[in-house]
Amino acid sequence: MTETWSELAIVPNSTARAWAAERLFRFAVRDLEVTVELGDERLGRGGPVLRIDRPRAFFHRLGVDAKIGFGESYMAGDWSGMDLADLLTPFAERLASLVPKPLQSLRRFVDASKPSSERNTVEGARENIHRHYDLSNELFAEFLDETMTYSSALFEPGSDDLAAAQRRKIDAILDLAGVRDGTRLLEIGTGWGELALRAAKRGAQVTSLTISAEQQTLARKRLAEAGVEDRVDVQLRDYREATGSYDAIVSVEMIEAVGEEYWPAYFRALDKLLAPGGRVGVQGITMPHDRMLATRNSYTWIHKYIFPGGHLMSVQAFEQAVRRYTTLRLDERRGFGQHYARTLRLWRQRFLAAWPRITELGFDETFRRMWEFYLAYTEAGFRSSYIDVYQFGLTKP
């Protein structure tokens, strides 16, 4: 464990920041349905227990940057809890009001700014994707299902069959894009190849783009094993470098990695690459429009540790971008955020159960706590409806 995660030496002015962070934390949890154990004190209205094991380090990290420090303090072991998603959901439900309104206007002075090194230029996007998706194919295989699908599933009522739910989601977006025998399909964001595989089995001719070398390698292997490699071309190529004309385009949870600066380029690419009469299916994670505007420049724990360069759209922002940058028509949208919450819970359960094998891949305890927090934190976001996921159907006149 590096010095970052040791008991911190208190630097000048950090005492005042830690003091302020403790007061704000006490204010934030007073009406939440949680129980905060702070020494002999009990804070909150009762519910899942958050035990602060190292108060000095915990409040120091919150004082340095609350949006990053809360997650870092869990990684460091400053606090603990039983089921993290249950514990974090009350926080997610009140995320917009945890800080008193008079202090929210100070956000621009205390929030860390997104580093310029994480801009999603063509080269920057490759590096951002590399930091997450190229961690290890073996790591992802330990907690994903047999389809190796890393996006929200769509469950049948009463079923927790993750693989079946992922195939159901893929079929839904292929249907939305009108993919059938003979379709020239462009996929933006290959993942590990399951969507391309299912499209090829429908008889489509698929061009699939990824900027992850690890994903390209495994996707090609899986497609060859399925006997459809002659129908799928997996290219290591950015969407801005794509050429050709396609009857259909699909893009599943790749838009989160585009970045607001490059939304115009992404939507113009959809319009340019789609043939007249063609259809597009886009699946993306969304957040309320007012929260998107309020946090658009914030640098968060998720950016620092999980998805550098990531940025969520709102449904309103998506619709505005379609109107502003394309000739496409938005025909359909459907949200299924609670399905994502179930997906994330299953991933977390599988990740923790597989941890003894994951350690053999070279990942340490800090990584385990980081990924447990990430999966629980995002599950709480979907459970509380602070974030959602949508499939959008578009057509070109």
Contacts of residue 6, defined as CB under 8 A and 6 or more positions apart, other chains included, come to: none
Cα–Cα distances (Å) from 284 to 203, 257, 314, 333, 390, in that order, read: 26, 10, 9, 11, 6
Has domain 118-395 been given CATH number 3.40.50.150?
yes
For strand 35-38 and strand 49-52, is the pairing parallel, antiparallel, or unpaired?
A: parallel
Q: In a 10 Å sphere around its CB, with 0-12 CB exposed, 13-18 middle and 19+ buried, how is residue 53 labelled?
A: middle
Q: How far apart are CA 9 and CA 6, in angstroms?
A: 9
Say what the pLDDT of residue 5 is.
37
Report mean pLDDT in 10-residue bins for the chain, 397 residues.
39 78 93 96 96 96 92 97 95 78 53 84 94 94 98 96 98 98 98 98 98 96 98 98 98 98 98 98 97 92 96 98 98 98 98 98 97 98 97 98
Which 3 state secondary structure label does DSSP give 274? strand
Per-residue model confidence (pLDDT) at position 98: 67
CB 298 within 8 A of CB 112: yes
First to last CA, the chain: 57
pLDDT at 262: 98
pLDDT confidence of residue 15? 87
* Rounded Cα gap, residues 397 and 58, in angstroms: 56
Predicted TM-score of the model (pTM): 0.93
Sign of CA dihedral 150, 155, 160, 165: negative
Domain spans, the chain:
3-110, 118-395
- Cross-strand partners of 391: 283, 334
